[in-house]
Chain A
Amino acid sequence: MTTDSRSNARTAWIFILPAVLIMAAACLYPVVSAVRLGFYDWSMGTPWAQAKWSGWTSFEIVFTDPAMWRSLLTTLKFAAVSVSAEMFLGIALALALEGNIRGMAFFRTLFILPMMVAPIAVGLTWRYLFDAQFGLINAVLAVFGVAAKGWLADETLAFAAIIISDIWQWTPFVFIMVIAGLANVDTSVLEAARIDGARWWTLTTRVKLPMIAHVLAITLVMRLIDAFRVLEVIYLLTFGGPGDSTEVLSLHIYKTAFIGQKLGAASAISVLLLVVVMVLTWLALRMSNPLADSEKDK
C-alpha cells in the first residue's frame, strides 16, 4: 500500500468513524443488551444487582412455549397479508397518480395523510370505526343490508380488522416510495419502449417496475420490518384477542416483559424476532440489492 492510499484510507476512516460510533451506540448496544438480558432473570422495578444468571433457561422456556409459536405464526400471517396488500395498492396508486393529472398534488397529499397520524390515534380511531354498536363500518354495511358484525369479537374478523388498519396507514408509505422512484425513471427509455410498440401494461411490467426494482426491494424490506414491530394499533384495537388470535410477536414480547415481568424471556423472544426479520430482509434484498449493484458499478 502506498503512502497516498494509506492516507486516503485514514481520511475515509476519520469521516466514517463518527457515523460508525453513533450507529454502534444507537443500534448495536441495545441489541447486545437484549441478548445479554436474555441470560438473566430480572424483574422491572428491582435493582439490576438482584438479577439472577439463568443461562439458557429463558431461551428454553421461549422455544417450548406454544403461545410464542402461535404468536410467531400470527405475525408471519399478518406481515404476509398486510405487506402484500400494501405493496400492491401502493404501486397501483402510484401508477395511477404519476402523471400530470389535474388536482394531483391534492390527491398525493391526501393519500399520505394516514402515515402521519400517530399509531395511538390510528388504534383509537379504528376501534371506534369497528365498534359493533356504533361503528361507521357497520353503519355503511347496514346501508347495503349487511347485518352488524362484531368485528373485534370474532377471531377472523379481528384479524381482518388489524390488517385493514395497517393497510390504511402504511399503503401511503409504499405510494410515496414508488412515486418517487417512478419520477426518476429515464423518460428516454420509456420513449424508446413506446416507439418499439410497448403498450401500458408492457411498459409498466417490463420497463417501469424493473427500473425501480431497487426502490421496491427497499420499500418491501422497510414494510416487513415495520410489520414485525407493529404494536400500538393492535394493543388498542384487540389487545391480542379474541383469545390470542391477534397477538403478534411484539405484543407477546410486551406482555411477557411488562405483564409477566419476565424480562429475560422477553429479550429471548426479541432475539428470535431479530433473527426472523434479518432472514426476511436478506431474502428481500436477494431479489434486488441496490448496495450490491453499487459495488458492481465501482
Chain B
Amino acid sequence: MKRRDLLKAGGIAGILAAAQFPLIRGVFAQDRYAKYRGQTVVMNVPAHPHYDAMAKILPDFTAETGIKVEIDKIAIGRMKDKQLLEMAKPQGDYDAVCYIVMWKGEYVKKNLVEELEPYFKNAALADPNYDINDIVKGYLENLGLVGGKKGYLPGPGAKLYGLPYGAETSVLAYRKDLFEKHGFKAPATYDDLQKILAPLKAKSGIGALTSRGQAGHQCVHAWLLHLNPLGGEVFDENWNPAFTRKPGIDALKLLKEISDTGPAGIPGYGQGEMINAFLQGQAAMYLDSILIMGQVNDPSKSKIVGNVGYALHPKGVRYASQSGGLGLAIPKNAKNKDAAFLLLQWLTSKAADIKVTKAGGNATRMSTLNNADILKQFPDFEILKEQLKYVEPDWRPIIAEWDEINIQALGVAVSEALTGKKTPEEALNGIVPKVTDIMKRGGYLKG
C-alpha cells in the first residue's frame, strides 16, 4: 500500500494503518509540532557531559519540528539559585529546566513545576509511540515521582513531575592491567574491597580507590555510596536520624580508609578531581557514577584507554547502587509549556535516546541498552544492564530539607572525619541535634 492510497482511504482505519508506516507517521508527528513551529524553548541545563551530548542532537529536533531551542548552560552548583529565582517570577525565562534529583520534592512542594500526566494524556501533544515503560524503572521512579511513599517513592499518591535525562547509577571500574599484574580480583563484596585497599596501593604504587571528599554534597555522596550497601539509612521509618547506627559509622570509617589509601588529596576532591585521578592513572579503582564509562576510552581525557574493566558495585549486606542524576521538568511559569513538553518527549524518545547515548550521553531506556549498535559501541553496557537491577530508589531521602542536611550538617561532619579532626562517631553523633532540629522545622518530627 502506497502513501497516497492510505491518505485516500481516510478515516480512523486509515490513520491507524498510516501509523504503521514511518513516512506517514512523520506527517502526523509534524502536525503535532505544526502549532509550535517558530517558538523557542529556553532550557536551563548544567555544564555536564550528558547535556553536552544533548546539544549535539538538538539540531535534529529543530529540523524535525521547527521548534528552536535556546540553551542557558550554567555551572551545576549555581543552577538551583538561578532556577528558584526564575520560577518565583510571574513568568520565568525558562520553558524547561534540568534538575538534580534532590530538588524534585522542593520544587513540587513549592508548586514550581508542572505535573506531566496531563500532557501525556493530551492527544494533541502526546506521541502515541512513546513507551514510558521502556524507561529504566529505577530512574523514572527516582527522578520523576513525587507524592508517594515517603513523599518521593512510588506508591499511592505518586505523580510524575519530571523525566530522567542524565540519570545515573554507580558502578565499579578498575584497572585490568594492574589487577592482572599484581594478582588482584575485582572486589565482589565490601569485605573484598576493604581487604585490597592497602595491598593494592602498596603493590601498584598509586592510590587504591579514588573518591569524592570535598566538604558538602561531594563527601556525603561518597559516604552514601557505601552506606546503602552496608545496610544503613539516613532516617528510620519515623524520620528519626539513623545515620549514627553501625552501618553509618562503618561506612564513614571505610571512607576514611579509602581516603587514606587513595590518591593524595581526597578530602578536597570534587567529582571532577575524583574522575581525573582515575583517568590520569593515579588510582586503581573507581566506584561512583556511570559517567566514567563515556570518558575512559577518550584519549583526549584518559591515559588508561583500553585498560579498564567494570564490575558490579560490590555487595555489602545487600546490593544497593546509587540512584540519582539529572531530570527535566517544565516550570509552572514557563511561557511555552507545550513546546517544552514536546522537546522533553522528543529527547526521551527511543530514537533520541540512542542518538544521545552514541554522542556520549547516559542511556535512559532499556531499548537503548539492548540495542545491538549501542552494545557494539559500548560493550561495557552489559554490566550496566546488570547493575540497573540493583538501583536503590531510596538511596537518599529526597525531601525538601535534604539540601540543608546534606551540605550544612552531614557535609561538615563527614568532611571533619575525613581530615581526622573528629572520629566518625564524634562527627556523626555531633550533628544529630542539628539534623533533628531541621526535621522538626520541616514538620517530620514533633517538638
A258 within 8 A of B: yes
Bound Cα distance A241, B414 (Å): 11
Q: Does A276 contact B (CB under 8 A)?
A: no
Stretch of A22-30, A73-81, A150-158, A177-185 that contacts chain B: A150-158
- What 0/1 pattern do residues 187 to 228 of A give for CB contact below 8 A with B? 000000000000000000000000000000000000000000
Contact of A131 among B85, B218, B265, B416 (CB under 8 A): B265
Query: Which of A154, A238, A258 contacts B215 (CB under 8 A)?
Result: A238
Minimal Cβ-Cβ distance residue in A for B441: A262
- With A134-B280, A153-B213, A261-B404 known as contacts, the answer to whether A242 contacts B265 (CB < 8 A) is no
- B368 on the A face (CB < 8 A): no
Question: Per-position contact with A for B269-303: 1 when CB-CB < 8 Å, else 0?
Answer: 10001001100101000000000000000000000
Residues from chain A with Cβ under 8 Å of B264 in the complex? 132-133, 148, 150, 153
A152 to B81, CA, bound (A): 25
CB of B329, distance to nearest CB on chain A (Å): 13
B328 within 8 A of A: no
Does B110 contact A43, Cβ atoms closer than 8 Å? yes
- Say whether A243 contacts B84, CB under 8 Å: no
Prevailing SS type, chain A contact patch: loop
A240 within 8 A of B: yes
Which residues of B (105-126) have their CB < 8 Å from a CB of A? 106-107, 110, 112
Q: Which of B84, B215, B411 contacts A45 (CB 8 A)?
A: B84
Tell me if B267 and A150 are in contact (CB < 8 A): yes
| CB–CB B408/A132 < 8 A | no
Q: Contacts A155-B419, A243-B421, A255-B407 known; A132 to B268 CB distance under 8 Å?
A: yes
Check if B352 is an interface residue, CB within 8 A of chain A: no
Instruction: Render A238-272 as a binary contact track against B, CB cut-off 8 A, 1 for contact.
Output: 11111110000000000110111100000000000
The verdict on B87 contacting chain A, using a C-beta distance below 8 Å, is yes
**Which of B77, B110, B282 meets A133, CB within 8 Å?**
B282
Interface of chain B residues 410 through 437 with chain A (CB within 8 A): 411-412, 415-416, 418-419, 421
Contact of A152 among B214, B408, B421 (CB under 8 A): B214
Cα A148 to Cα B87 with chains together (Å): 46
Pick the most buried of B110, B277, B415, B418: most chain A CB atoms within 10 A of its CB. B415
Contacts of B277 in A (CB 8 A): 133
Q: Chain B 80-110, CB within 8 Å of chain A: the 1/0 string?
A: 1100110110000000000000000011001
- Given the known interface contacts A153-B213, A261-B404, the answer about A242 and B80 at a Cβ–Cβ threshold of 8 Å is no
* Contact residues on B (Cβ < 8 Å of other chain), bracket: 35 or more
Is A44 part of the binding interface, using a Cβ–Cβ cutoff of 8 Å?
Answer: yes
User: Contact: A132 with B265, CB < 8 Å?
Assistant: yes
Cβ-defined contact, B216 with A45, below 8 A:
no
Distance in angstroms from B113 CB to nearest chain A CB is 10
Contacts of B266 in A (CB 8 A): 150, 153
List chain A residues, Cβ under 8 A from B325. Answer: none
A227 and B264 CA atoms in complex are apart in Å by 30
Quote the shortest CB–CB distance from A238 to chain B (angstroms): 7
**Residue among A45, A238, A256 with most chain B CB within 10 A:** A45
Among B218, B266, B268, B416, max chain A CB count under 10 A is at B268
CA distance A150 to B273 in the complex (A): 12
Q: How many angstroms between the C-alpha atoms of A255 and B403 in the bound complex?
A: 10
Whether A153 contacts B216 by the Cβ 8 Å rule is no
Roughly how many angstroms separate A155 CA and B422 CA in the complex, as a whole number?
A: 12
From the candidates B106, B215, B276, B400, name the one contacting A242 in the complex (CB within 8 A): B215
Q: Which residues of B contact A235 (CB under 8 A)?
A: 77
The smallest beta-carbon distance between A104 and chain B, in angstroms, is 39
Complex contact A240–B267 (CB within 8 A) = no
Complex partner residue of B408 from A131, A242, A259, CB under 8 angstroms:
A259
Q: Are A154 and B419 in contact (CB under 8 A)?
A: yes
Contact B87 A240 (CB under 8 A): no
The contact string, 1 if C-beta is below 8 Å from chain A, for chain B 386-397, is 000000000000
Q: Is B263 an interface residue (CB 8 A)?
A: yes
Tell me whether A67 is interfacial, beta carbon within 8 Å.
Answer: yes
> Known contacts A134-B276, A243-B215, A258-B81; is A46 also within 8 Å of B267 by CB?
no
Given known pairs A150-B265, A151-B265, A151-B268, the reply for A242 and B415 (CB within 8 Å) is yes
Partner of A258, one of B80, B107, B267: B80
- A45–B403 Cα gap in the complex (Å)? 15
Q: Which listed residue, A47, A150, A244, A256, touches B268 by the CB 8 Å rule? A: A150
Query: Is B267 within 8 A of A242, CB to CB?
Result: yes
Q: Are A238 and B276 in contact (CB under 8 A)?
A: no
Q: Is the CB of A239 within 8 A of B216?
A: yes
Say which residue of B110, B276, B400, B416 sits within 8 Å of A243 (CB atoms).
B416
Taking beta carbons and an 8 Å cutoff, which residues of B are in contact with A?
77, 80-81, 84-85, 87-88, 106-107, 110, 112, 213-216, 218-219, 263-269, 273, 276-277, 280, 282, 400, 403-404, 407-408, 411-412, 415-416, 418-419, 421
Q: What would 30 A/B residue contacts be, using CB atoms closer than 8 Å? A: A44-B81, A44-B85, A45-B106, A45-B107, A45-B112, A46-B88, A47-B88, A134-B280, A148-B264, A150-B264, A150-B268, A153-B268, A153-B269, A153-B418, A235-B77, A241-B267, A241-B412, A241-B415, A242-B215, A242-B419, A242-B421, A243-B415, A243-B416, A258-B84, A259-B408, A260-B403, A260-B404, A260-B408, A261-B106, A261-B404
Nearest 9 A/B pairs, CB to CB: A241-B215, A132-B265, A152-B268, A150-B265, A153-B267, A153-B268, A243-B416, A45-B84, A260-B404
